Structure 1
Amino acid sequence: MAARLSSGENRLVSLPLSRIRVIMKSSPEVSSINQDALFLTAKATELFVQYLATYSYKHGKGNEKNALTYSDLSHTAEEYILPKKILASKYLKMLEKEKRDGEVGEDEEEDEEEEDEDETVDEDAGS
């Protein structure tokens, strides 16, 4: 599909593919970039920026002035895209709590499975 992009087909994306290739190659894990992957990354980035701008405009204060402001974009990114800032100690406590809750949940599942097995045995014995 996009592997053989002609100059006319390059218009399917607005972002410069050469710049996106440079950004992708800046990652040490990337050795080569498939043309389809480059195109899809460019298109996904374009759609994300479009969504971010539209959402920020509709829900921002710039909407009143018929303008998209930096504060609208930064507020949207801070509230809906970027993870909330927390202290490492608080995060570790959350992980520990999730681990404890997960172990309790696993014990409950095992108990339910044992009860199901007991019911199956009882039903078979009654036949």
Structure 2
Amino acid sequence: TKKQLQLPINRIKTIMKSSPNVETIGQEALFAVTKSAELFIRFLAEEGFRRCPTRDKLEYKGVAEVAQTNAHLNFLTEILPRKLTVKECLRITEKDREKMESSDSSEDSSDESV
């Protein structure tokens, strides 16, 4: 019954109907999908909470860490990426730039030998 659910069942139905492959949605299927979504959210939140450094509140960092380290959740890695500091981002960007420059210079030297 609806009283057993925490998520708004009409919103779940709208999301399900947005799929081009879905024509009709039975009440039992709607209930099952809604309950599954609730359990998934609970799992993600509990695991994320365990990975938070302070363990007194749920933080993005913990949830993102769960998505990044749990093989079953690899579909979330682009949606929940690890946060980077500006310094880390600049370091990664610099490494990528150096790789591009070294591959460009190796291509240039191979062009010269032709």
**2:18 alignment partner in structure 1:** 26
Q: Deviations over 1:13-59 (max 9, x none)?
A: 10001000000000000000010000000001101100111111112
- 1:51 aligned to 2:39? no
Structure 1 unaligned regions, length at least 5: 1-8, 86-127
CA distance in 2, matches of 1:69, 1:45: 20
- 4+ aligned runs moved over 6 Å, structure 1: none
Report if the CA contact (8 A) 2:68-2:74 is conserved: yes
Q: Which amino acid aligns with 2:34?
A: A
- 1:75 aligned to 2:59? no
TM-score by length of 2: 0.60
Structure 2 unaligned regions, length at least 5: 79-114
Q: Which amino acid aligns with 1:22?
A: T
Q: Which amino acid aligns with 1:69?
A: E
- 1:11 aligned to 2:3? yes
Q: Summarize the alignment of residues 39-118 of structure 1 with structure 2, pairs less than 5 Å apart.
A: 39-63=31-55, 66-80=56-70, 81-83=73-75
Q: Deviations over 1:77-107 (max 9, x none)?
A: 122111578xxxxxxxxxxxxxxxxxxxxxx
Aligned residues: 75
Q: Which has the higher contact order (CA 8 A, sep 6+)?
A: 1
**CA-atom RMSD in angstroms:** 1.7
CA distance in 2, matches of 1:74, 1:56: 7
Identity %: 33
